[in-house]
A and B are shown apart, each in its own frame.
Chain A
Amino acid sequence: MTEPVEKAMERADLGADGQAPKQPKEKKEKAPKEKKEKKPQGEGGGAPGEKEKKKETKLGMQTSKKESFTDWYAELVVAAELISYYDVSGCYILRPSSYAMWEFVQRFFDDRIKEMGVQNSYFPLFITEDVLNTEKDHVEGFAPEVAWVTKTGSSDMEKPIAIRPTSETVMYPYYAQWIRSHRDLPLRLNQWTNVVRWEFKYPTPFIRSREFLWQEGHTAFATQQDAEAEVMQVLELYRRVYEELLAVPVVRGRKSKKEQFAGAFFTTTVEAFIPETGKGIQGATSHCLGQNFSRMFKIEYETEQKTKEFAWQNSWGMTTRTLGVMIMTHGDDKGLVAPPRVAPKQLVMVPIPKASTPPDDKKAMFDKADELKAQLERASVRVVTDYRDNYTPGWKYNYWELRGVPLRCEIGPKDMENGNVVLVRRDTGAKEAVAWSDLAARVPVLLETMQADLLAAATERQKASMAKATTWEEFMAALESKKMVLAPWCDEEEVEDDVKKRSTTPTAAGAKTLCIPFEQPDLPAGTPCFASGKPAKNWALWGRSY
């Protein structure tokens, strides 16, 4: 991290063609600015920000994913211009390139829930203390993390107002009003909002922040069966967001009692895994709330038989954490690798004239690049061109690799002669020459191939990170080799507490259940729990986690 600027530039400047290009002019322009930048002054926990800030002006990654994952991630999210820090610790700016990816996630999910019959709405950010306190279990889960508005202008308020950490308690009183009859069901609402949870755990951009963006769906049904069907339907959409859009494999399962949502009947989850840190990460959760909240909030409906029943409710949420998991999964030592389906720009067009190229030929080259760009755009490829004349090709390659653009399209003097371009894949570095006439057909295919390959590669790493254990020793050995562990379990909360305690080491937090996977290996009768020796009820997936 303390590598001198010159050295870093040197490495960054080694272009793909192996020659060290000239120092870009831009560096000089930026140098004075660097000193002016203020360090974020959070209330602690802002360390990565402080370190990374300084690197905004440099090009190329300086930390290695393998050697120093946490630093690598912190460097990457800033260097690739995905987020920025500011003075408040744990809050971040989502810059256009990450926000555009969030928009792809939003569009995919929003379209599909609307097909299912879910409607969007908006409930207020501010919650009164009394409303927040309606549901006991629930409040105990969230109260310690609430941020409070205590003043308006210069006046103190009589009672403070909470900023929503989640919206159950805001929404459900309305459900109680709006739902009267079985004909008012199902009521299926969703909202895309920001929420604030004032946590003091170590913040990580996208993964854990004090303010984050999410969608929260809240639905009410007449029957348990309908509610449970939706829980699974939504979980499947979450799986698709991860696997089909973000190319991140996930394990679907049910949360243990200890890990489920405060106040839920049961919680389902999609769990991802980061092999480098050996930590599981909860991807998104879909909860069946049963009738717990409807009893509390008196969400009752009249059945066809004129009897009163409490509604069955679900809630489900997915956050900008999705992007963090994707970045961690695919990123490499050159920077971000964006899966083509969520890449704001899928292809960067880089003409590479030589200093000796005559002006006419140079113009023809740029014209050709424009023409090819137009063809690609007609084929719905998102293209960006880099015609800057103050950077060398090698510098540009690094620049766009850092930003994760899936394909680079080079067009040089030789290519002009041959009627070709050279396509370079961001994930593998594989090059191929493609004739101009084939380009608009080839690129979409290549993008889809890359999308599939990213998922396949990540799935392989995920599989390699999955161990099975039937004894405590096996369990600890797997955990210590940074794996998640599938182990037969008695499904008792005290045992989970005990495992957490016993697996805590001086350097690592204890393990917990990530989920009880829906896909269960055979469990012969009498198999003992790996931790308690009691008869196992299921195979649970354990791991250290974010």
Chain B
Amino acid sequence: MLQSKCAQGWLAQRPSPIQSTPRPASRGLGSHIRQHNWQLRAAAEGTAATEAPKKAKPQKQQGGGKAEGGKVPDEAITPKSEDYSKWYLDIVAKAQLADYGPVRGTMVIRPYGFAIWEAIQKHLDAAFKSVGVENAYFPQLIPLSFIAKEAQHVEGFAPELALVTKGGGKDLEEVLAVRPTSETMVNHMLAQWIQSYRDLPMNLNQWCNVHRWEMRTRPFIRTLEFLWQEGHTAHATPEEAEEMAMRMVRIYERFAVEEAAMPVVAGRKSRAESFAGANCTYTIEAMMGDRRALQAGTSHNLGDNFAKAFGTQFLDSDGQQKHVHQSSWGVSTRLVGGLIMTHGDDKGLRLPPHLAPIQVVMIPIVKKEADRPAVMESISQLESAARSAGIRVKVDADERQTPGWKYNHWEMRGVPLRVEVGPRDVESKTCVVARRDKPGKEGKQMGVSAEPMAFVAHINTTLEEVQAGLLSDATVFREANIVDVTSYEELKQAIAAGKWARGGWSGSDADEKRVKDETQATLRCFPFDQPAGPHTCFMTGQPAPEVAIFAKSY
């Protein structure tokens, strides 16, 4: 953080009304019923994020004059190995993904970060619609009495609700909660909308903001306000609700693997780690670069818990009044944090081509002014060829910066491919294509044809190679960091070494709590893909129906 400065002006003196707010009671496993996406063990190591919000000063771009490939202090970030947390915050600031919001724990998502979220939205929204989900919008302000209706749910969420008590200069008649999630609001409506089996299934989704008064925050990973989608479905039978919950976690898994190049483990949460109010929670768990687990998306089978609390009933074809069975599922801007920590390296961000706002950056290499027109002409032809093929391109023709500065600049931002064109390339009707995922010469291909069709074909192929390369890198890394354990001792060693531990598990809730208290590792999931049995519980020595994965997590 060579150039970073502390917040200036109002940001430095911004009021922090929450600093004096007493912390809610510590949430150990004792209150584990409330576990959900955003809940993390308080035991996790402290994060520097809110303690010392540093603001990267907008980059001051000095004139050229730097040697090609030379060090550019403005763009330097803390190496991953030195301080992972700082590395992450540096990328967030310097790649201009997000900034800290005026209220502690909130964030401003800057255009580059938001464009990544928009790409995520586009993929997922299409996937949801393809399985018959419709978008809607439910109000942000939920009467507190709604939230109180489902006992486990309210217990889970009450401590972190933001409550509105005044509006337009008057005290409100009823206290309103700023939505932390919308199961209660949705069910209040479903109880009115659903009457007959013909109204089912009802598959709704909304893209919105939600708020949870979190104490330990980190941009994208855990923020007081975050953007997400929340799907809510209602079905006539338990089987259909289960099927939907499974279908959605599989959609998340597929998205994570195919678009985000994140090799997630899909599985089932333990009872202790399930959503407050759910019968069963499914999850996708990703391994970050520091080998901590990140819960990247969840899908819940809610059974008829909310339906009973809200009286959401329908008249079935057999003439009986029945409660509906439901699912809910969500992913959030946390995925952006997951992308950074899955793929980023010491040069900055590495974005999977499918989600990259800019897939290809084109840089003219001009040493003599006389060469410029021809180089720019070639670049502009390549740009228009790529653009008309639907490739997201950016030309960086800024004459004030050296090519080397630009290389660093766009590598920091994780652009998957760089195209360089110099006078010699113009002569030979070629260009140079460099991959972000492979350093130096290895990732650089000279003499790529500048003929539009051939060029576009080459770019498309290479983008897919980068996409596959990132997935493969992350998969290799993950596999190397999962240890199969057969005893508690082995688990302790694996966790102490920062790895994930996988082993047979049939322990009790108390056993699970013990693991957490003693190692800080939590039961991430029972993976859907189970190794062949039989298994023995590493804790109790009893036969175990399944293996579970334990890890420290975000």
Contact = CB atoms under 8 A, between A and B. Distances in A.
Interface of A: 26, 29-30, 33, 36-37, 43, 56-57, 84, 86-88, 91-96, 99-100, 102-103, 119-131, 134, 144-155, 157-161, 163, 170, 173-174, 176-180, 183-184, 189, 193-194, 196, 198-200, 210-211, 213, 298, 388, 390
Interface of B: 8-11, 14-15, 17-18, 20-22, 24, 55, 57-58, 60-61, 99, 101-103, 106-111, 114-115, 117-118, 134-141, 143, 146, 158-169, 172-176, 178, 185, 188-189, 192-193, 195-196, 198, 204, 208-209, 211, 213, 224-225, 227, 311, 315
Given A100-B135, A177-B57, A390-B198, 4 more contacts: A147-B164, A148-B167, A151-B163, A211-B141
Judged by DSSP, the binding face of A is: mixed
B219 to A, nearest CB: 12
Contacts of A210: 167
Contacts of A26: 196, 198
B141 A93 contact: no
A81 to B, nearest CB: 8
Contacts of A155: 21-22
A437 to B, nearest CB: 30
Given A91-B141, A99-B136, A184-B58, A36 B311 contact: yes
Nearest to A177: B58
A92 B192 contact: no
A124 B225 contact: yes
A88 B139 contact: yes
B21 A158 contact: yes
Given A88-B141, A93-B139, A121 B196 contact: no
A176 B9 contact: yes
Contacts of B164: 147-150, 163
B176 A88 contact: yes
Nearest to A188: B111
B99 A174 contact: yes
Contacts of A123: 101, 108-109
B140 A194 contact: yes
B50 to A, nearest CB: 14
A193 B209 contact: yes
A211 B135 CA distance: 18
Given A149-B163, A174-B99, A99 B141 contact: no
A84 B193 contact: yes
B141 A180 contact: no
Judged by DSSP, the binding face of B is: mixed
A149 B137 CA distance: 22
21 contacts: A29-B195, A29-B196, A33-B192, A57-B195, A84-B189, A84-B192, A87-B188, A88-B143, A91-B141, A96-B135, A100-B134, A119-B111, A120-B115, A123-B101, A126-B102, A126-B225, A128-B103, A150-B163, A152-B162, A152-B213, A176-B9
A301 B522 CA distance: 50
A43 B17 contact: no
Nearest to A44: B173
Nearest to A152: B213
A179 B441 CA distance: 37
B92 to A, nearest CB: 14
Nearest to B185: A86
A95 B111 CA distance: 29
A128 B188 contact: no
B189 A86 contact: yes
A43 B173 contact: yes
A217 B196 CA distance: 44
A36 B189 CA distance: 13
A152 to B, nearest CB: 4
A121 B58 contact: no
B195 A148 contact: no
Contacts of A86: 139, 185, 188-189
A148 B165 contact: yes
B168 A152 contact: no
Given A84-B189, A120-B111, A177-B8, A157 B18 contact: yes
Contacts of A126: 101-103, 106, 162, 211, 224-225
B110 A95 contact: no
A30 B195 CA distance: 6
B153 to A, nearest CB: 15
B392 to A, nearest CB: 12
Contact of A173 (B10, B21, B195, B209): B10
B102 A127 contact: yes
A183 B135 contact: no
A179 B173 CA distance: 44
A96 B108 contact: no
Contacts of B139: 86, 88, 91-93, 211
A43 B172 contact: yes
B215 to A, nearest CB: 10
Contacts of B9: 173, 176-177, 298
A189 B111 CA distance: 8
A134 B227 CA distance: 27
Given A93-B189, A120-B111, A199 B135 contact: no
A211 B168 CA distance: 13
A55 B211 CA distance: 35
A147 to B, nearest CB: 4
Given A33-B195, A163-B178, A124 B106 contact: yes
Given A122-B108, A144-B168, A151-B163, A157 B189 contact: no
A103 B134 CA distance: 11
A30 to B, nearest CB: 5
Instruction: Kindly list the 6 A-B residue pairs having the minimum CB-CB distance in the complex, ordered from nearest.
Output: A198-B167, A119-B111, A198-B168, A96-B134, A124-B106, A94-B137
Nearest to A119: B111
B290 to A, nearest CB: 27
A120 B115 CA distance: 7
A8 to B, nearest CB: 18
Contact of B20 (A87, A91, A158, A176): A158
A171 to B, nearest CB: 8
Among B17, B135, B172, B315, find the residue whose CB has the most chain A CB atoms closer than 10 A: B17
Contacts of B138: 93
Among B107, B146, B173, find the residue whose CB has the most chain A CB atoms closer than 10 A: B173
Contacts of A198: 167-168
A146 to B, nearest CB: 7
Contacts of A183: 61
B102 A147 contact: no
Nearest to B19: A158
A311 to B, nearest CB: 14
Contacts of A152: 18, 21, 160-163, 213
B15 A145 contact: no
Given A26-B196, A43-B173, A100-B134, A121 B15 contact: no
Among A122, A130, A176, find the residue whose CB has the most chain B CB atoms closer than 10 A: A122
B482 to A, nearest CB: 35
Contacts of A36: 311
A151 B61 CA distance: 44
B21 A157 contact: yes
A218 to B, nearest CB: 12
Contacts of A157: 17-18, 21
Among A87, A127, A193, find the residue whose CB has the most chain B CB atoms closer than 10 A: A87
Contacts of B103: 124, 126-128, 161
Nearest to B227: A122
Contacts of A213: 137
B111 A121 contact: yes
A174 B55 CA distance: 11
A160 B211 CA distance: 16
Nearest to B204: A96
A95 B138 CA distance: 8
Given A151-B165, A155-B21, A198-B168, A130 B15 contact: yes
A29 B110 CA distance: 51
Given A95-B136, A173-B10, A121 B109 contact: yes
Contacts of A153: 24, 158-161, 213
Contact of A149 (B162, B168, B195, B209): B162
